[in-house]
Amino acid sequence: MAVMEQGAPAGFDPGAKTTAIALSLLGAVAGAAIVLLILFASDLAAGWGIDQALSTVPLSLLAAAIVFMLAGGLVALTRLGLGGVIVLTGALCWMAGCITYYSFGWLLAVPPVLALLGALTGMIGNDRAASRSDGRLLYRQDGVTRLTHWVWAVVMFFMLLSGLQIFEARPDLYIGQQSGFGFDNAILDIYAVNTPNGARGQTKLFGQTFDTTGVLGMSGDAANPDFTAFPAWATIPSYRDLATGRVVHFFFAWILVGTLFIWLVNALISGHLWRDIILKPRDIRELPRDIVDHVRLHFTHGKSYSPLQKLAYFGVLVIAFPLIILTGLAMSPGMDSTWPWLLEVFGGRQTARTIHFLTMSAFVLFFVVHIIMVLVANPINELRSMITGYYKTNIKRDSSEEMQ
Amino acid sequence: MSKLLFSRRMFLTGSAAGVSSLVLAGCDQFDFLGQTDNQVRNFIERANTLTYQSQRIIAGQQALARTYDASEIRQPQRPNGSTDPQTDAYLMVKANNFADYKLRITGLVENQLEFSLDQLRNMPAQSQITRHDCVEGWSCISKWTGTRLGPLLDMARPKANAHFLVYHCYDDMGGGLSGPEIYYESSDLVDGYHPQTILAYGLDDQTLPVSNGAPIRVRIERALGYKQAKYLHTIELVDSFASFGQGKGGYWEDHGYDWYGGI
């Protein structure tokens, strides 16, 4: 950390600094211009598809974003890495502002894109320079890996919440080709029921009934509860709207499949898949020790992943992603006619739906463990490696290993 | 250094907190997507067109929906949507057991056609045991019996500019702000001519009951339940369905559901 914090280290590329600052300041100027346009020339803004009035929350977020972009651009004059982080915060603020603003025009995407490019140029330039003088700072994640990671973070958020919305239309899971109405093949059932103690939310799992009032089956305001399978905060939209849930789910499904394809091609060509994801005999041998190390919170930060990490990423990228996509397709009657084997492989449409749901649960579990591990290991270092690609190892690089 | 480290940590924590508070504030942040005229929604809805075109390309026009063994019929077909229409026109035609019922094929055709229920029943019959998939997520396997729509369309001789079939129904669905709306659906000609697309008058070897769409229900087996229009009386060939209902191609489509309905 020490070296990279000392401004511009030896061998630093001055072009990166100029580009980073220019892009960040341009982002700030573009942002300010758009906000002024909305505030004082709403007719003109409406022509660009930005037609809503700017209320306090989005206005303050957008204003904060402009300040961050401006300040970050100036800080980058002396501290490039820190300036990049501030500009990145500005870009995130702008995106949060857009989400609360509800209006949509391509113009709104200009400031965060400029700021993101500026922030990344600055942060990557800084880390690249620092890496030359610090043998432990290694380039570990290539651009495609980093980009797809963050796209998936957003995509999986929308997939999960719109998926729960879709599930809410029929909050039961069955085994087989069809749903049992005249017979019972349900393994999960979420519902609300009237009891002597008033309405309760219940969940029936493998024949066992659990009271899940407040979370499943019945939730929200005690005086005016929602009798939906999931709480309003867990679904998109927050109210019952299957049609919109489907629109959101299928849009992000396409993004997921597209980025997964890009990731796969890159991982095959660059060797990332073979090098970092596929477990080798050596990884299997080291697995027990790695488990012990993890339990003791003693982490090895090397150039590649530890056996447990490989196992987790293998599970997500090679098993869970294809599984959740194929079981999703198996629920499409159109796809079932195209690829009839989908029904054979998964044992029927309703079983496929159940597997889809279970895979989603596995993703949620992975997400929780993933976040915990990032926090426990070293959040700054882990975040940096997923933003700039550079990762601080705790073993000194041996002379034979060349930096990329 | 420690000061700088703190700032860096502060900014990262700050932005993480910003994003997570947005999430915790509730996902009503995204409720605007429920407005069918919202620009963001209209943009992401284009993914449904991509799905439709992709499935048409990889499936081809003739790929068959999965059919099942008779042993898979384990329960009555679950009625959903309208189950007992109360419109005047339907009550009138139902009163004498559909003796005066006519199925019309109109619109952009060389021959306007009209069939009584007996005429339809005397045409070559086709039975298929298929899975009915509701958009809600459930499935139910039944045996549907009827006559293929394709040969009827051939008899009507669609004009070159006929691109869609609009299925007009007897039932209405309540709840709309403007009061009850008559149910209708539409499909492309590929679905109309598909070998498994039938005008069904029988269900599980019985006469099609009112709750499942008597006297005639179209079966488009590669699509979800809402495409299987019940209480059908007219099939109109059109070049565009923009002038019907809200212009989205069906009752449920007008309420935000995707037109293709194959996913």
Q: Are B249 and B185 in contact (CB under 8 A)?
A: yes
pLDDT tens digits, one per residue of B192-246: 999 999 999 999 999 999 999 999 999 999 999 999 999 999 999 999 999 999 9
Closest CB from B8, B12, B41 relative to A247: B41
Q: Does A84 or A6 have the greater pLDDT score? A: A84
As a whole number of angstroms, the distance between CA A145 and CA B224 comes to: 37
Q: Indicate the number of domains in chain B.
A: 1
As a whole number of angstroms, the distance between CA B262 and CA B54 comes to: 11
Residue A8 lies in a domain: no
Give SS3 for B147. Answer: strand
Give SS3 for A402. Answer: coil
CB-based burial of residue A401 (10 Å sphere; 0-12 exposed, 13-18 middle, 19+ buried)? exposed
Q: Are A88 and A388 in contact (CB under 8 A)?
A: no
Query: Given this model, what pLDDT does residue B9 score?
Result: 52
Helices (H), A138-241: 143-168
For A102, the enclosing helix (H) or strand (E) is none
**Is there a contact between B55 and A253 if contact means CB atoms under 8 Å apart?**
no
Alpha-carbon dihedral of residues B175, B179, B180, B182, nearest 10 degrees?
-120
Query: Given this model, what pLDDT does residue B13 score?
Result: 57
Q: What is the mean pLDDT of chain A?
A: 91
CATH number at residue A340: 1.20.950.20
pLDDT tens digits, one per residue of A101-118: 877 788 999 999 999 999
Same domain as A27, residue A54: yes
**Is there a contact between A105 and B39 if contact means CB atoms under 8 Å apart?**
yes
Could you tell me the pLDDT band of residue B10, with boundaries at 50, 70 and 90?
A: low
As a whole number of angstroms, the distance between CA B239 and CA B235 comes to: 13
Query: Which chain B residues are closer than 8 Å to A168 by Cβ?
Result: none
**Is there a contact between B33 and A336 if contact means CB atoms under 8 Å apart?**
no
Tokens representing A396? 């000194």
Residue B164 lies in a domain: yes
Same domain as A383, residue A271: yes
**Is there a contact between A332 and B22 if contact means CB atoms under 8 Å apart?**
no
Closest CB from A182, A242, A340 relative to B66: A340
Query: Given this model, what pLDDT does residue B62 score?
Result: 86
**Is there a contact between A92 and B19 if contact means CB atoms under 8 Å apart?**
yes
- For residue A48, give its domain range: 14-134
Query: Given this model, what pLDDT does residue A223 score?
Result: 84
pLDDT tens digits, one per residue of B154-177: 999 999 999 999 999 999 997 666
As a whole number of angstroms, the distance between CA B61 and CA B55 comes to: 10
Residue A145 lies in a domain: no
Please check the confidence at residue A68 and state whether its pLDDT lies above 70.
yes
Query: Which chain B residues are closer than 8 Å to A383 by Cβ?
Result: 12
Residue A358 lies in a domain: yes
**Is there a contact between B133 and A349 if contact means CB atoms under 8 Å apart?**
yes
Q: What is the mean pLDDT of chain B?
A: 91
Query: Which chain A residues are closer than 8 Å to B18 by Cβ?
Result: 92-93, 96
Residue B21 lies in a domain: no
pTM: 0.91
Same domain as A284, residue A162: yes
**Is there a contact between B137 and A167 if contact means CB atoms under 8 Å apart?**
yes
- Ranges A8-22, B78-92, B145-159: which has the least confidence: A8-22
- For residue B130, give its domain range: 65-254
Which residue pairs from B20-24 have beta carbons closer than 8 angstroms and sit at least 24 positions apart in sequence? B22/A96, B22/A99, B22/A100, B23/A157, B24/A233
Q: Are B186 and B250 in contact (CB under 8 A)?
A: yes
In the chain, the amino acid numbered A96 is: A
Q: Domain end: A180, A208, A229, which one?
A: A229
As a whole number of angstroms, the distance between CA A204 and CA B176 comes to: 34
Q: What is the mean pLDDT of residues A13-28?
A: 92
Query: Which chain B residues are closer than 8 Å to A250 by Cβ?
Result: 47-48, 51, 258, 263
Find the largest Cα–Cα distance for chain B.
90
In chain B, the percentage of residues whose pLDDT exceeds 70 is: 88
Residue A213 lies in a domain: yes
Closest CB from B8, B55, B135 relative to A380: B8
Find the largest Cα–Cα distance for chain A.
76
Query: Which chain B residues are closer than 8 Å to A233 by Cβ?
Result: 24, 26-27
Query: Which chain B residues are closer than 8 Å to A105 by Cβ?
Result: 39
Order of strands across the sheet that contains A186-195: A172-174, A186-195, A198-205, A208-211
Residue A31 lies in a domain: yes
As a whole number of angstroms, the distance between CA B189 and CA A9 comes to: 67
Query: Which chain A residues are closer than 8 Å to B49 by Cβ?
Result: none
Report whether the peptide linkage leading into residue B215 is cis, meaning its omega lies within 30 degrees of zero: yes
Please check the confidence at residue A5 and state whether its pLDDT lies above 50.
no
Q: What is the mean pLDDT of residues A64-83?
A: 95
Could you tell me the pLDDT band of residue A147, with boundaries at 50, 70 and 90?
A: very high
Please check the confidence at residue A323 and state whether its pLDDT lies above 60.
yes
Residue A153 lies in a domain: no
Please check the confidence at residue A399 and state whether its pLDDT lies above 50.
no
Same domain as A304, residue A357: yes
Min Cα distance A300 → chain B (Å) is: 22
Chain A residue with Cα closest to B78: A181
- Complex confidence, ipTM: 0.90
**Is there a contact between A180 and B40 if contact means CB atoms under 8 Å apart?**
no
- Ranges A50-59, A68-77, A179-188, A390-399: which has the least confidence: A390-399
Residue B48 lies in a domain: no
Q: Are B144 and B202 in contact (CB under 8 A)?
A: yes
Q: Single out the residue of A380, A324, A159 nearest to residue B4, CA to CA.
A: A380
Please check the confidence at residue A197 and state whether its pLDDT lies above 70.
yes
Q: Are B133 and A349 in contact (CB under 8 A)?
A: yes
Query: Given this model, what pLDDT does residue A1 score?
Result: 39
As a whole number of angstroms, the distance between CA A389 and CA A396 comes to: 18
Same domain as A164, residue A179: no
As a whole number of angstroms, the distance between CA A74 and CA A283 comes to: 46
pLDDT tens digits, one per residue of A231-281: 999 999 999 999 999 999 999 999 999 999 999 999 999 999 999 999 999
Sequential DSSP letters for B57-102: HHHTTTPPPPB--GGG--SPPPP-S-SS---HHHHHHHHTTTTT-E
Positive or negative, the CA dihedral B107, B109, B111, B116 is: negative
As a whole number of angstroms, the distance between CA B173 and CA B186 comes to: 16
As a whole number of angstroms, the distance between CA A62 and CA A96 comes to: 8
Query: Given this model, what pLDDT does residue A12 score?
Result: 60
Count chain A–chain B contacts defined by CB atoms under 8 A.
205
Rounded to the nearest 5 degrees, what angle is found at the Cα of A106, between the Cα atoms of A103 and A108? Answer: 60
Give SS3 for B206. Answer: strand
Residue A402 lies in a domain: no
Min Cα distance B101 → chain A (Å) is: 31
Chain A residue with Cα closest to B3: A5
pLDDT tens digits, one per residue of A206-221: 999 999 999 999 998 8
Query: Given this model, what pLDDT does residue A404 score?
Result: 37
**Is there a contact between A239 and B47 if contact means CB atoms under 8 Å apart?**
no
CB-based burial of residue A42 (10 Å sphere; 0-12 exposed, 13-18 middle, 19+ buried)? middle
Please check the confidence at residue A401 and state whether its pLDDT lies above 80.
no
Same domain as A205, residue A162: no
**Is there a contact between B59 and A232 if contact means CB atoms under 8 Å apart?**
no
Residue A144 lies in a domain: no
In the chain, the amino acid numbered A122 is: G
Same domain as A293, residue A358: yes
CATH number at residue B248: 3.90.420.10
Same domain as A99, residue A38: yes
Q: Indicate the number of domains in chain A.
A: 3
Could you tell me the pLDDT band of residue A6, with boundaries at 50, 70 and 90?
A: very low
**Is there a contact between A247 and B39 if contact means CB atoms under 8 Å apart?**
no
Same domain as A250, residue A200: no
Same domain as A361, residue A307: yes
**Is there a contact between A182 and B75 if contact means CB atoms under 8 Å apart?**
yes
Query: Which chain B residues are closer than 8 Å to A166 by Cβ?
Result: 137
Q: Does A44 or B248 have the greater pLDDT score? A: B248
Min Cα distance B148 → chain A (Å) is: 18
Query: Given this model, what pLDDT does residue A2 score?
Result: 40
Closest CB from A96, A336, A350 relative to B66: A336
Query: Given this model, what pLDDT does residue A53 score?
Result: 83
Could you tell me the pLDDT band of residue A312, with boundaries at 50, 70 and 90?
A: very high
Same domain as A212, residue A249: no
Could you tell me the pLDDT band of residue B59, with boundaries at 50, 70 and 90?
A: confident
Same domain as A163, residue A125: no
Phi, psi at A218, each rounded to 5°: -160, 130
